Amino acid sequence: MNSKDVVTIAGFAKEVGQDIHSRHRVGFDEGRASAYEAGRVAGRESAIHALAAARFGVEAADHVVEATMSMLHEPEPNVGIGNAGRIAICVLTCTTAEELLARVREVEEEEAKRDRALRAFFRR
C-alpha cells in the first residue's frame, strides 16, 4: 500500500460521506412528506367523525367515515374546496344521517361521471 492509495481512499470516503448525508436529507424530506399526508388524512377523518357524531351520534359518524373513506384519501386541491370540505358541508346541511349518506353517494356518482368524461376526452 502506498501513500497514493491512502489519499484516494480518504478522498473517496469524504465524497461518499457527503453522499450518505444527502440520502439522509432525502429520507428526512420524504418521511416528513409521507407522515404529513397520512396525518392530514387522519385529521380530515377525525374532523368529519367529530362533526357527524355531534350531529347524528357516534354510530352514524362511524358509518359516515367508513362510507367516505376513499373520498377522504383522495388528494385535496390546492385552491378551493375538496372532498372533505364538501362532506363536512353535507353534514351541516343534511337533516338525517340517511340523507347525508344518500348525498355522499350522489357526490361520488357525480365524481365518477366527471372522471369518465375526462378520460373519454383524453382518449379521443
Partner 1 sequence: MIGARKAGLVSFPGAWLEGYEGGLRSTGVPHERRMQLVAESVARLTAEAYFAGYVRGGESAYDDGMTEGQSEVIHWVVWVKFGPMAAHRVAKLFEWIREPEWTARLAARVFTCGTATEFLARVKDLTEGERP
Q: Please, what is the minimum distance in Å from the beta carbon of residue 117 to partner 1?
A: 26
> Counting beta carbons within 10 angstroms of the beta carbon of residue 58, is it exposed (0 to 12), middle (13 to 18) or buried (19 or more)?
exposed
Segment interacting with partner 1, rule: CB under 8 A, options 11-19, 62-70, 99-107, 112-120: 11-19
Among positions 63, 67, 73, 82, the unique one binding partner 1 when judged by CB under 8 A:
82
79 binds partner 1 (CB under 8 A): no
Residue type, 67: A
Among positions 20, 79, 117, 120, the unique one binding partner 1 when judged by CB under 8 A:
20
CA 86 to chain centroid: 16
Residue number with CB closer to partner 1 (33 or 102): 33
Segment interacting with partner 1, rule: CB under 8 A, options 7-15, 62-70, 104-112, 113-121: 7-15
102 binds partner 1 (CB under 8 A): no
Among positions 4, 7, 40, 103, the unique one binding partner 1 when judged by CB under 8 A:
40
* CA dist., res. 95 & res. 55, Å (int): 9
66 binds partner 1 (CB under 8 A): no
18 binds partner 1 (CB under 8 A): yes
DSSP string, 12-43: HHHHHHHHHHHHHHHHHHHHHHHHHHHHHHHH
Cα three-residue angle 91-79-95, rounded to 5 degrees: 10
